[in-house]
Amino acid sequence: MTLEQAHQPSFWGGVYAFLFRFLGPADLGDPNEPPPAKIPVAAPCPRCHKPMAEHTYVDTPERKRLRCPA
């Protein structure tokens, strides 16, 4: 939302226009910064340290459970 859009006749538009004077636009960081490193797809299981592709998920009424291949 730009400052011009904030000057619409609404309560929240007025609040945004007031706060924009002090806070300014959103801080999005350095555009030249490289993206964060991706997590490898074949990450090991935190419990048994085997590949996650060997595991199965069991659906229970409360939640999903991870079943190790051990």
Q: Any idea where the domains of the chain sit in the sequence?
A: 3-26+42-67
How many degrees, rounded to 5, is the angle at CA 67 between CA 62 and CA 69?
Answer: 175
Q: How far apart are the C-alpha atoms of 36 and 14, rounded to whole Å? A: 37
Q: How far apart are the C-alpha atoms of 56 and 59, rounded to whole Å? A: 10
- Residues 4-13, mean pLDDT to the nearest whole number: 68
pLDDT digits (tens, 9 = 90+) for 19-67: 989 998 888 888 898 888 876 667 788 888 888 888 888 888 889 888 8
Q: Is 49 left (phi over 0), alpha (psi -120 to 50) or beta?
A: left
Predicted TM-score of the model (pTM): 0.36
